[in-house]
Structures are given as structure tokens and as C-alpha cells.
Structure 1
Amino acid sequence: MLKIDEKGAVAPQIFTALRQAIITMALKPGQPLSEKEIAASFGTSRQPAREAVIKLVEAGLVRVLPQRGTYVVKVSPRQVADARFVREAVEVAVARHCCLSASQSALEALDHLIAGQEEAAAANDHAGFLALDEKFHKGLAEAIGCSEAWRVIETGKAQMDRVRYLSLPEASPMSLLIDQHREILAAIRAGDADAAAAAVRVHLREILLALPRLAKAFPELFEDEELPGHAADLQPVLRMEA
């Protein structure tokens, strides 16, 4: 039985645990989800299990098929690209504002997170590395007093997270991502908004390089679909930069 904090709301805890299991591929595409089994696993009634499943549907991670059941969906390259497009627009704006208003203490906190990522990379701790990656990007938004920017990003990035988790051992070395974080932070420290924006774009477009490689390596995990125009248009540029 999975542990639930009885002092907190139950449904969000179940959602978070299932979301993490789907992102890390502990729950694989095509795997069925039963409200009854979820409730039994967490030692709860079926109501919070049902609420958690509804949130997973809203996050685009599971699909309810009438008369057939509820299943984990495959990774959608189109949804990944769409989420990345929105995220780039938001984070470029955040990075530019960081150059104007981020405090020294906020920058030091970001530097500390990068140091933590280096330790996680040395230990080959993928989960720890990605947790610190989340904190770094969230920290950029918090550095300008706009936590809502991160909320917008977090709401739509579930499919991105699945690719990011797969990409660490397969397509995007942790050392490369650390270097990209350092470039973002260095540009912000220098107050160079254009350089900060460019560094964010390079960093967030890394996933477009990883995506086709991963889809080829793990065809059973991905929907067979083409990238939307806003992502496909970047492919020639990315190929030249790779």
C-alpha cells in the first residue's frame, strides 16, 4: 500500500504519485488504470481515486475509452512541441526580466541549485537531477516575483516531462543541460537580456533534438505523428547547430 499523508487532501496526493509514475514510465503507455485498484493501492475510497484520474485526463496523461476503461496515453510529439512553444515564450520573458530585477540572493540560490545538479549528475541520479531542474526554472520565475509564470508552465508540461525523463540517459547528457543553465545564469548576472533570452531558447529547444531520436528508439511509447509547423520550422536550424 502506498503511503498517504492523512493530514493533507488525498486526491492531489494520488494525482501527484500517479503523474510521477507516468512521467518516469513506471506506468507505461497502454497500461490500464482502475479506480478500484488505485483506491486499494492507496488505502482510500474510490472518490479521491476518481478525482485523481479526472486530473490525469485533464493533464493529457490518461484517456478514458467508453466501455473499455482508462489507459495511460502514449507520448504525443505534437503536445510536447506545443507545450515547449508556450514554455519558451514565457521563460524568455522571465529571463529578460531577471536581468532587470533579480536580487543577488535569488541568483545565489540559482547557483546553488546548479551545484546540486552537478552532484546529482556525478551520482547518476536522474530523478534528483530533474527535481533540481524544476527548482531552477521555478526559481527564475520566483526571482521576478511572478510565481504565476511557473504555474502556467507547470500546468501544460506533463508530456514534456516524459520526454525529459527519457532523454537524460539517451539523448541529452546532464553535463550539457548543466552548462546551459550556467549560460542562462551568467547572462542574467551580466544584465544581458538578449543573451539570457538566447540561452533560454537554446536550452528549451534541446528537447526538439531529443524527440525524434527517442521516438525512433522507443516507438512503442510515442504516437506516430508529425511535429506542428512551429516546431518543424526549427528543425533545419537545430540540425545545423547540433
Structure 2
Amino acid sequence: MAAESQLNPTQPVNQQIYRILRRDIVHCLIPPGTPLSEKEVSVRFDVSRQPVREAFIKLAENGLIQIRPQRGSYVNKISLSQVRNGCFVRQAIECAVVRRAATMITDAQSYQLEQNLHQQRIAIDRHQLNDFFQLDDEFHQLLATIADCQLAWDTVENIKATIDRVRYMSLDHISSPDMLLRQHQDIFSALEQRDVAGVDAAMTQHLQEISESVLLIRQENRDWFSEE
């Protein structure tokens, strides 16, 4: 298990524990099949079991862990069905988001996206995959902000935990950051041109990358996947 255990006293404890455990699972620092103990996690963060239990419930809702009464909790294997369904829903939402964003984007928002893309390039050049992964999410979140629909991003965020594990595993050798950045730049270019059809096509191509990479990742890590 990853060593990070420092919590911010000004933020809700259960939410912080959820975010840290979610990241550890997505980054495969806690591999599929690993048992999770409320007691061990509470000791790690020096908190009572209640916020840990609440974090576990949220992780279970996102499909990352399974809570078995009287038997303990375990990190779920990566469900191919959940990945496929999550990709389908995410594509439907995010294509609608960028079509709307193309009609609403301002110069200030265009500058924000451009700065994010610049930071992505820096992270790639420095081989900082974790930073790139976060900036990738921030890019997509900015698109929802431009479309004035935070609910769209909140919905995507709630369904993409399983997808994120595949995204992270594919970064270093299947879906290269350079390729993903080029796709982000294609989305940005279409937005700048207010090209609704073009941005829809660019986003569709970008999100289909996960559907194609999941089968290759599964071949490399067959024990971490389930057909369910």
C-alpha cells in the first residue's frame, strides 16, 4: 500500500481518504484482489473507523472495491463490462459537452485550455506521468466548465474509476502521452474554430482510444481482469 497518510485538517476526512485510496487503486499501487482492512487503513491515517467505512462505501459505489459483510473488503478486478459501458456513457456525455462548448467558448477560456496543454507538454518532457494524468482530467473538466455544465463532469467522474485504471496502465507504452496530447490539441483547435462537427469527431476519436487499449492491457495483465 502507498505510504501517503497525511490529511488536511481543514477538509472532510472521509473524502480525503476516498481520494487517496482511489488514486492508489487507479495507479495500481493497490492491485486488484488486494484485501482492504478498515483497521489497517484507520491506523495508516490515524483516524477512527467511521470515515474509513464511509470512504470504502464510496469506493464500492464507484466499482473499485467489494465489501463483503463478515468476510472483509477487496479491490475488485477490472471489469471489461464496466469499462465498455463506462466508455459508452462517457463518450455520449463528453461529445455533447464539446459540441455545446464550441458554441460558448470565450477567449479567456481558450487561454485556460492553451495553458493546460502547455503544462501537459512540460509533464511529458519531464516524464511525469502522474502529473500528465491529472492534467488530462483537468482538461476534460475545463471543457465541462466551458459548456457551463458541472453536472456533466460530476457524472463522468463518478463512472470512470474503472476506466481510469486502464488509462493509467496504458500510459507508458500503449496510449502514449504524446499521442493523447495531439488528440487534445485537435479538440482544442476545433473549439477555437467553433467547429461543432469537428470537435465532436475529435472527441470521439480521443475517447475510443480506451476501448481499443483495454484489450491489449488485458493480454498483459490477464489475472487483473474479469469478464463481468
TM-score above 0.5: yes
Letter matched to residue 104 of structure 1: D
Show the 5 A alignment for 1:4-83.
4-83=7-86
Q: Using the TM superposition, give the Cα deviation of residue 48 of structure 1 relative to its aligned residue in structure 2, in angstroms.
A: 0.7
Letter matched to residue 3 of structure 1: Q
Could you say which residue in structure 1 is the equivalent of 2:148? 145
Distance in 2 of aligned mates of 1:47 and 1:159: 25
Could you say which residue in structure 2 is the equivalent of 1:116? 119
Equivalent of 2:165 in 162, 165, 182: 162
Distance in 2 of aligned mates of 1:113 and 1:220: 36
Could you say which residue in structure 1 is the equivalent of 2:90? 87
Q: How many residues align?
A: 225
Letter matched to residue 78 of structure 1: S
Q: Using the TM superposition, give the Cα deviation of residue 66 of structure 1 relative to its aligned residue in structure 2, in angstroms.
A: 3.7
Unpaired segments of 5 or more residues in structure 1? 226-242
Distance in 2 of aligned mates of 1:70 and 1:126: 29
Superposed CA offset, 1:192-227 (max 9, x none): 1001000000000001111110000111211135xx
Distance in 1 of aligned mates of 2:182 and 2:10: 40
8 Å CA contact 2:102–2:191 kept in 1: the answer is yes
8 Å CA contact 1:62–1:70 kept in 2: the answer is yes
Match of 1:30, SS state, is coil
Pair 1:190-2:193 in alignment:
yes
Superposed CA offset, 1:51-102 (max 9, x none): 1111111111000234321000011111011111111111111111111111
Note the aligned Cα RMSD (angstroms).
1.1
What percentage of aligned pairs have identical amino acids? 37
Letter matched to residue 73 of structure 1: N
Letter matched to residue 10 of structure 2: K
Runs of 4+ off more than 3 Å: none
Match of 2:172, SS state, is helix
Pair 1:171-2:171 in alignment:
no
Letter matched to residue 94 of structure 1: V
User: Bigger CA drift: 2-11 or 124-133?
Assistant: 2-11
Match of 2:73, SS state, is strand
8 Å CA contact 2:190–2:196 kept in 1: the answer is yes
Equivalent of 2:222 in 211, 219, 222: 219
Match of 1:25, SS state, is coil
Match of 2:66, SS state, is strand
